[in-house]
Amino acid sequence: MENPKQIEIKLSKFKLTLLLIGSIAFTIYGAWTMLGVPKGNHSILSNPVLQYAICVLCVVFFGFLSYFYLKKLRDTSPGLIISSEGITDNSSGVSGGFIPWSDVEDITEFKVYRQKFVCIGVKNPQDYIDKQTSELKRKAMQLNQTTYGAAISINANGLECNHERLKSLLKQKFSEFKKKA
Contact 173, 161 (CB under 8 A): no
Could you say which DSSP state residue 5 is in? T
Domain count, the chain: 2
Pair (121, 62) in one structural domain: no
Residue 125: other Cβ atoms inside 10 A: 21
Pair (63, 117) in one structural domain: no
Beta bridge partners of 8: 81
Pair (155, 112) in one structural domain: yes
* Number of residues written out for the chain: 181
Pair (29, 92) in one structural domain: no
Q: How high is the pLDDT of residue 133? A: 86
For 157-175, how does the pLDDT look when each residue is reduced to its tens digit (9 = 90+)? Answer: 889 999 999 999 999 999 9
Pair (58, 91) in one structural domain: no
Instruction: Tell me the residue ranges of DSSP E strands in 75-168.
Output: 80-82, 86-89, 97-100, 104-112, 115-122, 152-154
Pair (50, 90) in one structural domain: no
**In this structure, is residue 117 part of a structural domain?**
yes
pLDDT band at 32 (very low <50, low <70, confident <90, very high): confident
Amino acid at position 97, single letter: G
**In this structure, is residue 2 part of a structural domain?**
no
User: First and final CA of the chain: distance in angstroms?
Assistant: 28
Contact 181, 34 (CB under 8 A): no
pTM score, whole prediction:
0.79
Domain containing 164 equals: 80-180
Please identify, among 74, 97, 114, the residue that sits at the C-terminal boundary of a domain: 74
Cα→Cα distances 7→85, 109, 172, Å: 12, 20, 12
Indicate if the pLDDT at residue 1 is higher than 50.
Answer: no
Pair (92, 173) in one structural domain: yes
Angle at 26 between CA 59 and CA 41, to 5 degrees: 90
> What is the C-alpha separation between 91 and 93, in angstroms, rounded?
7
Pair (148, 66) in one structural domain: no
Cα→Cα distances 170→88, 106, 173, Å: 11, 10, 5
Q: Please give the share of the chain, as a percent, with pLDDT higher than 90.
A: 48
